[in-house]
Amino acid sequence: MPELNLVLFGPPGSGKGTQGERLQEDLRLPYYATGDILRAAVREETELGGTAKRYMDRGDLVPDEVIVSVIAERIDSPEAADGFILDGFPRTEPQAEALADRLTELGRSLTAVLLIDVDDDEVVRRLGGRRTCEENGHVFHVEFNPPEKEGVCDLDGSPLVVRDDDEPEVIRHRLEQYHAKTEPLVDFYDRRSLLRRIDGAASPGEVGAELERTLATLRLEADEAI
Ligand code: AP5
């Protein structure tokens, strides 16, 4: 089967992490979520974490050169040789160009960019009610996907917390950053015929089913091209 090099794309809170967790299990591909990588670096107090924290707490993007090297290292690794799923990268045009250049150097290319499309009001509802497991990063929602026991992760019993950047004024700033710097990539990838739009307003199960249908179509197209 041809390799699958996928990007999960969309505004903050659109459900990229929720769907990424499912896709990773279904496709058995390495999953690189830049937000998770940076939060782990902050927890471990590495140099990367120290740099990233200043930007993340404000809801700003970390500088391109910082995040590009983080992803290049993963794509170059043997575990990603048969494909990968990126979540949260690229987020600016220079990042998208850097990704394309690196893949070209490796004789590879992106298979598709999967845009999970939701509007700003829905983003605010979702991020306002998100609760994240302190230990494993699994996400819940107080209304749409509540844990069995309030404040406790179903998977390992760890406490659920509100992410620092899920405070209302930071959510608004993250949305502004998305519209200004990241949303232009919708056109960038559409022009390259890589964009696939998924209606993200539906339930997590329905969004997952639409993603599966899209991936099935991509596989058929790839098989026909051989
Ligand atoms: P990151 O962690 O990537 O944040 P994000 O893109 O804002 O995405 P989120 O994790 O907030 O949301 P999500 O789309 O994964 O939604 P989720 O599944 O959790 O990045 C954080 C920061 O790191 C950035 O602000 C930046 O500073 C930095 N950074 C990262 N990458 C960078 C880059 N490339 N360049 C520069 N800086 C970078 O779902 C949200 C909630 O909704 C949950 O509660 C969930 O249960 C619920 N939910 C999910 N799906 C549904 C549904 N269908 N219906 C109802 N509820 C749903």
pLDDT digits (tens, 9 = 90+) for 111-122: 999 999 999 999
Q: Write out the DSSP string of 100-148.
A: HHHHHHTT----EEEEEE--HHHHHHHHHTEEEETTT--EEETTTB--S
Residue with structure tokens 């390259």?
Answer: 192
Separation of CA 170 and ligand 1 centre (Å): 13
- Give mean pLDDT, residues 6-20: 97
E runs forming strands in the chain: 4-9, 31-33, 83-87, 112-117, 130-133, 139-141, 160-161, 195-199
Angle at 147 between CA 23 and CA 173, to 5 degrees: 70
pLDDT given for residue 152 in this prediction: 97
- Give mean pLDDT, residues 57-63: 96
Query: How many C-beta atoms surround the C-beta of residue 1 within 10 A?
Result: 9
pLDDT given for residue 2 in this prediction: 79
Nearest ligand 1 atom, CA 87? 3
Looking at the predicted structure, is the pLDDT value of residue 222 above 90?
no
Active site residue ranges: 16, 91, 130, 163, 174
Looking at the predicted structure, is the pLDDT value of residue 1 above 70?
no
3-state secondary structure of 43: helix
- Give mean pLDDT, residues 178-198: 98
Residue 225 — very low, low, confident or very high, per pLDDT cuts 50/70/90? confident
- Conformational region of residue 61, where left means phi above 0, alpha means psi within -120 to 50, and beta covers everything else: beta
pLDDT given for residue 16 in this prediction: 97
Looking at the predicted structure, is the pLDDT value of residue 226 above 70?
no
Looking at the predicted structure, is the pLDDT value of residue 109 above 80?
yes
Task: State the average pLDDT for the chain.
Answer: 95
Cis check for the bond before 90: say yes or no (omega within 30 of 0): yes
pTM: 0.95
Q: Which of 16, 63, 24, 56 is nearest to 181 (CA)?
A: 63
Lowest mean pLDDT segment, chosen from 1-10, 13-22, 56-65, 187-196:
1-10
- Give mean pLDDT, residues 68-97: 96
Distance between CA atoms of 64 and 32, rounded to whole angstroms? 16
Distance between CA atoms of 13 and 89, rounded to whole angstroms? 14
Tokens standing for residue 94: 């220079």
Separation of CA 223 and ligand 1 centre (Å): 32
* Bridge partners, 159 (sequence order): 152
Nearest Cα residue to atom 43 of ligand 1 = 130
From 34, 99, 166, 172, give the residue whose CB has the most ligand 1 atoms within 8 Å, as the site to mutate: 34
| Burial classification of residue 97, based on how many CB atoms lie within 10 Å of its CB (0-12 exposed, 13-18 middle, 19 or more buried) | middle
Looking at the predicted structure, is the pLDDT value of residue 223 above 90?
no
Q: Which long-range contacts (CB under 8 A, 24 or more apart) does 36-44 make?
A: 36/87, 36/137, 37/70, 38/62, 38/67, 38/70, 39/137
